[in-house]
């Protein structure tokens, strides 16, 4: 359904409640609606028009329109359209009807803008704190414009414990985390167990929330944010670097040079390769198959060396600036990368053939952590988790960016929806990434790496960018602003949505399968929680040098 048809359907159904529709091009649609009708419109778009839910955003727009802003983003994947339904809110506190009963995938996002902006989602089925700790005082919302980036609230109770729900009758509680032998980051699942069977759980995360969006709209500038965005995730850094840059470029109607687009595509696929190999190795380690764990990491290592030769770093490439990239490919780098890809392809094919018939691995993963297409739709699951359940989505194809519209590749899907299917999907995607990089190396045109940009970008423009990370779609939303920085920058990492499917995936399965079920979504809690050090009691802010950090580590101060 093309954009103009969607607008017609909305106007026919809701009349004057559709206040304005902007179609800036590039597969983006912004529809401003009456707040009283927002819930009904979202239900219509999600159910009747069968759009996929992406994320919800709150913003403090009071300095510019004397109101708050709420936006619900949906994707029409088959027509390559990203649609934002926006409404302005007044009142103290600002209130908007919750859409979570109609669109369950919006549950966390609505709780988040309640915590951080004080926008009340009226009728939310579970209005419990999500991001802020229980000891945070009421009425203090850190993403409001009148709250400083380094604000420390009076009355913060750092000793107050999180209030978990009561377990179901007949169940005992087993804590999974916040620190667990197979998890590298803090997350707390409170499992409700009957015998050996998990009957439910409650999740508590956001223990490492770094306030990166606040820094982006108050301290950092447009071309400093890509380097901060890269540190949102330890594995998918280039994804966030590119997604942010593209959101700003889309808002400002900037198109990077073709050579820069091809280089972005190569680096994104190089990141996908090393991420998939890392995940397959770690998944096998979780189930005790350490031979494949070591093989995966051995095959992966030349890719890391290649990334370092291209960018100077194994992982954080510092690739993008607004309007282009910082690194180029010489003829020597192209030839060496081709050789590395050939070796990885040969060695990985042998591994995949061996894994496909491994009965011990199948016994630990078949029928475990199952998702269905209905769960994918309702909870907004994405990436290999969705594709392994037979849901054919991939924003590289559905919402092409960089140079993906100039290369050919196959979207790998499965049918089982379980851990085994996710393993096979990610193993096969390795070959498609190699195919994409080879095409980019062959087709990459000559030309500049960056555009010459004006001193100031247009103000008040909105941009949306979706990038297919190895774990699934990462989504960035930007409103351009004054002082060479955005007014609002919102990040939705793939784990943010996929974590919301874990309770259904582990329900009524054995406790021993919890770790691999969680591991199968390749969770990244740092990018979900999205440094300097602040003393809560005094409010003093300290930035340590590298040598000071090294010395404190030796003395075990940190």
Q: DSSP characters for 496-528?
A: HHHGGGHHHHHTTSBGGGHHHHHHTT---HHHH
pLDDT of residue 382: 97
Is it the case that residue 313 has pLDDT exceeding 80? yes
The listed range with the strongest mean pLDDT (126-140, 155-169, 334-348) is 334-348
Indicate the SS3 state at residue 264. helix
Task: Give CA torsion, residues 363, 369, 370, 371, to 10 deg.
Answer: -150
- Please enumerate in sequence order all residues whose Cβ is within 8 A of that of 100, keeping only pairs 6 or more positions apart, or say none: 106, 107, 110, 121, 124, 125, 126
The tokens for 269 are 């696929």
Mean pLDDT, the chain, as a whole number?
A: 91
- Rounded to an integer, the average pLDDT of 87-116 is 96
pLDDT of residue 551: 64
pLDDT tens column, 389-400: 999 999 999 999
The CA-atom distances, in angstroms, between 516 and each of 430, 469, 486 are 21, 20, 39
pLDDT of residue 97: 98
- Rounded to an integer, the average pLDDT of 37-49 is 98
- Rounded to an integer, the average pLDDT of 75-97 is 96
CB distance 65 to 94 below 8 Å: no
Is it the case that residue 537 has pLDDT exceeding 60? no
The CA-atom distances, in angstroms, between 2 and each of 25, 84, 104 are 12, 15, 26
pLDDT of residue 531: 40
**Measured between alpha carbons, how far is 234 from 227 in angstroms, rounded to an integer?**
12
pLDDT of residue 185: 67
Reported as a pLDDT band with limits 50, 70 and 90, residue 528 is: low
The CA-atom distances, in angstroms, between 111 and each of 117, 323, 464, 476, 523 are 10, 34, 21, 18, 20
- Rounded to an integer, the average pLDDT of 299-303 is 97
pLDDT of residue 188: 86
Question: For strand 462-469 and strand 472-480, is the pairing parallel, antiparallel, or unpaired?
Answer: antiparallel
- Rounded to an integer, the average pLDDT of 495-499 is 94
pLDDT tens column, 258-270: 999 999 999 999 9
Cβ count near 554 (within 10 Å): 8
Query: H or E stretch including 280?
Result: helix 258-286
Secondary structure E strands in 35-116:
52-60, 68-76, 81-89, 95-97
**Measured between alpha carbons, how far is 52 from 73 in angstroms, rounded to an integer?**
9
The tokens for 425 are 């999907």
Whole-prediction pTM: 0.91
pLDDT of residue 552: 57
Reported as a pLDDT band with limits 50, 70 and 90, residue 550 is: low
Is it the case that residue 494 has pLDDT exceeding 90? yes
Q: Report the phi/psi class of residue 328: left, alpha or beta, with left for phi > 0 and alpha for psi in -120 to 50.
A: beta
The listed range with the strongest mean pLDDT (1-10, 166-175, 348-357, 432-441) is 432-441
**ω into 226 cis (within 30 of 0):** no
Domains belonging to the chain, first-starting first, are: 3-161 (3.30.460.80), 212-446+456-529 (1.10.645.10)
CB distance 96 to 122 below 8 Å: yes
Reported as a pLDDT band with limits 50, 70 and 90, residue 56 is: very high
pLDDT of residue 357: 83
The listed range with the strongest mean pLDDT (197-206, 229-238, 473-482) is 473-482
Reported as a pLDDT band with limits 50, 70 and 90, residue 536 is: very low
Is it the case that residue 554 has pLDDT exceeding 90? no
């Amino acid at each position: 359904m093309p954009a103009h048809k969607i607008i017609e359907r909305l106007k026919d159904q809701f009349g004057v409640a559709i206040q304005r529709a902007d179609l800036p091009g590039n597969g983006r649609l912004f529809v401003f609606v009456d707040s009283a009708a927002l819930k009904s419109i979202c239900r219509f778009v999600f159910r009747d028009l069968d759009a996929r839910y992406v994320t919800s955003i709150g913003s403090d727009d009071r300095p510019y329109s004397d109101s708050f802003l709420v936006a619900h983003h949906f994707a029409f994947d088959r027509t390559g359209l990203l649609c934002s339904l926006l409404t302005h809110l007044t009142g103290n506190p600002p209130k908007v009807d919750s859409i979570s009963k109609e669109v369950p995938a919006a549950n966390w996002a609505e709780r988040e803008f309640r915590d951080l902006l004080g926008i009340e989602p009226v009728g939310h089925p579970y209005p419990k704190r999500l991001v802020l700790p229980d000891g945070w005082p009421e009425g203090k919302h850190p993403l409001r414009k009148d709250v400083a980036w380094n604000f420390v609230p009076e009355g913060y109770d750092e000793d107050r414990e999180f209030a978990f729900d009561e377990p179901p009758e007949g169940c005992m509680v087993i804590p999974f985390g916040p620190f667990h032998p197979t998890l590298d980051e803090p997350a707390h699942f409170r499992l409700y167990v009957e015998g050996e069977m998990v009957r439910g759980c409650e999740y508590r995360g956001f223990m490492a929330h770094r306030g990166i969006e606040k820094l982006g709209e108050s301290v950092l500038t447009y071309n400093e944010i890509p380097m901060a965005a890269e540190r949102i995730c330890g594995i998918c850094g280039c994804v966030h670097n590119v997604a942010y840059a593209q959101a700003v470029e889309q808002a400002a109607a900037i198109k990077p040079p073709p050579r820069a687009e091809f280089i972005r595509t190569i680096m994104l696929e190089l990141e996908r390769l090393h991420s998939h190999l890392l995940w397959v190795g770690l998944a096998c380690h979780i189930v005790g198959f350490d031979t494949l764990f070591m093989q995966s990491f051995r095959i992966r290592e030349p890719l890391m060396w290649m990334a370092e030769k291209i960018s100077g770093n194994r992982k954080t490439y510092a690739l993008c600036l607004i309007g282009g990239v910082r690194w180029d490919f010489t003829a020597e780098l192209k030839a060496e990368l081709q050789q590395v890809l050939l070796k990885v392809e040969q060695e990985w094919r042998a591994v995949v053939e061996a894994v496909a018939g491994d009965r011990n691995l199948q016994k630990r993963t078949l029928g475990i952590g199952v998702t269905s297409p209905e769960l994918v739709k309702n909870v907004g699951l994405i990436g290999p988790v969705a594709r392994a359940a037979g849901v054919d989505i991939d924003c590289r194809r559905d919402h092409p960016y960089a140079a993906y519209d100039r290369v050919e590749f196959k979207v790998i899907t499965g049918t089982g929806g379980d851990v085994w299917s996710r393993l096979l999907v990610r193993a096969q995607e390795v070959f498609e990434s190699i195919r994409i990089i080879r095409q980019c190396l062959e087709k990459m045109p000559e030309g500049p790496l960056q555009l010459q940009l004006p001193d100031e970008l247009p103000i008040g423009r909105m941009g949306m960018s979706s990038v297919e990370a190895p774990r699934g779609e990462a989504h960035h939303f930007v409103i351009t602003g004054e002082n060479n920085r955005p007014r609002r920058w919102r990040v939705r990492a793939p784990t943010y949505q996929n974590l919301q499917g874990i309770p259904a995936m582990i329900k009524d399965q054995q406790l021993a399968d919890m770790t691999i079920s969680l591991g199968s979504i390749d969770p990244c809690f740092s990018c979900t929680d999205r440094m300097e050090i602040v003393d809560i009691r005094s409010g003093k802010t300290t930035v340590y040098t590298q040598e000071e950090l090294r010395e404190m580590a030796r003395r075990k101060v940190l």
